[in-house]
Amino acid sequence: MERLRTSLVARLVLVTVVVSVALALQTSAVSANQMTVFTCHDPSGAAVGHDGWTTQRTGDLNMTLADTCAGSNQGALVLNLGANGAGYGNGAGVDWVFTAPSWASIASYTIQIADSYAIPSTGGGSGQVFVNASDESDPNYDYRNLGSAGLGATTIARTPPTRVSSIVVNASCDGQDGPCAAGVEVSHVDVSAASLVLDDFSAPTVSAISGGLVGGTTIKGTSEVTFNAADEGPGVYSAWLVVDGRVQPAVLLNSNNGLCQNLGQTSNGTRSFAHPEPCAKSTSSSVSLDTTGLPDGQHTLKLMVDDAAGDATTAYVGTFTTKNAGNGSLGALPGPGAAGSGLSVGVGAPNGSGASETAQVRLGLKGAITRSFRHRALRMSGRLIDSQGRAIGGAALDVLQQEVGSPALKLVGHAKTLANGTFVAKVPAGPSRTVEVAYRAFSADPGYAAVAKIKESVSAGVQLSVSPDRTGPEGTITLSGKVAGPIPRQGAIVDLLVHYRGRWEPFRTPRTNSHGRFRVAYHFEGGVGRFPFRAEVPAGQAGFPFGTGNSRVVDVRTN
């Protein structure tokens, strides 16, 4: 069998040479109305099972289906049409099918195929492997290996034009020209990971609201709001209070025996889980508030409750009054500085002439800019002034950046103001990020008195070469290239496109290796003329903090 596979590799129409199987670790803010479901392995490689997927087959015991995803970064959802003495008829096959819950639809999905094999025709039927949304009809395949032997690893990343309810992965016999061969493996596919984004537009309902914070009462110390919450979608997730417009930390309401655990690692801001319906459909819970840090008097209160998809309900709006002073307590004390002056005195030496806690940093750039990978280093000019518009000269400024997908700010440079308050900050080259110029009014202040920031979107850098640039109508070319780093260890996705019939058509989506390199073979099928090719690296990839970038266009002529 191995000899048969090896001898057929040369007949591939399209071969992806370098691919990997995992998504990168990334955490981000919650995105409402959607959640992500991981299958087989999450982006870190941890096994997460196949909840939401079912199997089906036409009945032959030589057709096998298995989940071997138990190992870290090892195993897959497997489909196989093994050797059968009688061969297989048209349509004989096995499926893994993901079906969205009744309340949801599938907005987008990424499926990583570690390997696929489909036996070529030997005068009868061909082996077949395909992936498609079952709501869409043939030939809208997301992936198809029809008698092309082993295609190796690939990644399918798709957003359907309309929402769909189920995804099918199939290994079968395409026997329209006769039965598939007997006594040999006909088709095989391994799905090493999948990530499915589900839509949910129903928010939780909340009832039986009570507790010391409810009803405009006067309280001291710690008090709470109790309530019942229910959700018809993925389940009730968390609750939080908003006090005087300030959002308090959220509380997970019910872990649902560990199923309602946000796995993170998404690039689209959604929560992620190993289950399509991860959280409890209903729960009774409470949220508490320590009021001793609040000044005495009346305060506004909101209770917010959301579900696993981030759909939030404003469950309660009201007021409460605190009275924590008295009984020998000093109560709420004013901050440092002269009472009633509105000024505060910092800690340490003044930072600049006319150092001020009410300073402003003004930049000469727009709040959001887009730069190419080649020109991603920045020079940020600006001016530091006090609240009266007077210059603060001789002040030291910090330059910080927060990369897309990173939770932390990082110090990357310094600048100093001239006597008129102007400055130029040099920012080293980096990925898409938020860049801040920050001013500390006094040398030992714990925080910054003024911060100005911009968002810099950096386009990915990608190079493409094609060899040869001239071939026959049925010739084969090799497309290779490199995506500029830093590259996550599992590589970056690249879309390869050809300009055909007036528009750019994607024809393959390889993933680079950890050094950013990719290589793909393409076989023409009778086309004559000039064919422009280009490579595009899409934005939003986990662990790859760059915007969409394109290579130069490379022409190939066939005659």
- pLDDT (tens digit, 9 = 90+) per residue, 259-315? 998 998 888 889 999 999 999 999 999 999 999 888 889 999 999 999 999 999 999
Q: How far apart are CA 154 and CA 169, in angstroms?
A: 14
CB 120 within 8 A of CB 147: yes
pLDDT band at 152 (very low <50, low <70, confident <90, very high): confident
Please confirm whether the linkage preceding 486 is cis (ω < 30° from 0). Answer: yes
Please confirm whether the linkage preceding 468 is cis (ω < 30° from 0). Answer: yes
Q: How far apart are CA 513 and CA 18, in angstroms?
A: 6
Residues with Cβ < 8 Å from 7, sequence gap 6 or more?
Answer: none
Q: How far apart are CA 486 and CA 516, in angstroms?
A: 8
Average per-residue pLDDT for the chain? 85
Q: How far apart are CA 64 and CA 94, in angstroms?
A: 7
**What are the pLDDT digits (tens) for 166-207?**
999 999 999 988 999 988 999 999 999 999 999 998 899 999
pLDDT at 335 over 80: no
Dihedral sign computed on CA atoms, order 40, 42, 44, 47: negative
Ordered by where they begin, the domains of the chain are: 33-199 (2.60.120), 205-261+276-322 (2.60.40.10), 360-458 (2.60.40.10), 462-558 (2.70.50.50)
Percentage of the chain exceeding pLDDT 70: 89
The structure's pTM equals 0.56
pLDDT band at 553 (very low <50, low <70, confident <90, very high): very high
Percentage of the chain exceeding pLDDT 90: 52
pLDDT at 511 over 50: yes
| pLDDT value of residue 71 | 74
- Give the H or E element holding residue 337: none
pLDDT at 336 over 80: no
**What are the pLDDT digits (tens) for 396-437?**
999 999 888 777 788 889 999 999 999 999 999 989 999 999
For residues 267, 271, 277, 281, the Cα torsion angle rounded to the nearest 10 degrees is -160
Q: How far apart are CA 373 and CA 368, in angstroms?
A: 16
**What is the token pair recorded at 512?**
């680079």
Give the type of residue at 338. A
Give the type of residue at 253. L
Higher pLDDT, residue 132 or 340? 132
Higher pLDDT, residue 1 or 404? 404
CB 488 within 8 A of CB 511: no
pLDDT at 483 over 90: yes
Dihedral sign computed on CA atoms, order 334, 340, 344, 345: negative
Look at residues 96, 185, 191, 182 and name the one whose alpha carbon lies nearest to residue 147. Answer: 185
**What is the token pair recorded at 482?**
């490199």
**Residue 111, strand partner residues:** 156, 194
| pLDDT value of residue 496 | 92
Q: Report the DSSP pairing between strands 470-471 and 554-558.
A: parallel
Give the type of residue at 522. Y
Q: How far apart are CA 197 and CA 188, in angstroms?
A: 26
- Please state which of the ranges 52-66, 87-101, 382-396 shows the lowest mean pLDDT: 52-66
φ and ψ at residue 424, rounded to 5 degrees:
-130, 120
| pLDDT value of residue 65 | 87
DSSP labels for 29-74?
Answer: ---TTEEEEEEEE-TTS-EEE-TTEEEEE-S-TTEEEEE-TTSTT-
pLDDT band at 365 (very low <50, low <70, confident <90, very high): confident
Look at residues 170, 103, 100, 110 and name the one whose alpha carbon lies nearest to residue 135. Answer: 100
**What are the pLDDT digits (tens) for 219-242?**
988 899 999 999 999 999 999 999
**What are the pLDDT digits (tens) for 69-118?**
887 778 899 999 988 888 899 999 999 999 999 999 999 999 999 999 99
Reduce the DSSP state of residue 74 to 3 states and report it.
coil
**What are the pLDDT digits (tens) for 3-15?**
233 322 222 222 2
CB 476 within 8 A of CB 9: no
pLDDT at 2 over 70: no
- Give the H or E element holding residue 310: none
φ and ψ at residue 421, rounded to 5 degrees:
85, -5
Look at residues 477, 532, 493 and name the one whose alpha carbon lies nearest to residue 14. Answer: 477
Residues with Cβ < 8 Å from 40, sequence gap 6 or more?
Answer: 47, 48, 49, 50, 67, 69, 75, 76, 77, 191, 192, 193, 194
> Which whole-number Å values give the CA distances from 54 to 48, 100, 173, 535, in the listed order?
15, 11, 20, 36
Q: If you count them, how many residues does the chain have?
A: 559
**What is the token pair recorded at 417?**
């103001």
| pLDDT value of residue 539 | 85
pLDDT at 342 over 70: no
pLDDT band at 368 (very low <50, low <70, confident <90, very high): confident
> Which whole-number Å values give the CA distances from 451 to 62, 366, 390, 411, 434, in the listed order?
67, 15, 17, 13, 12
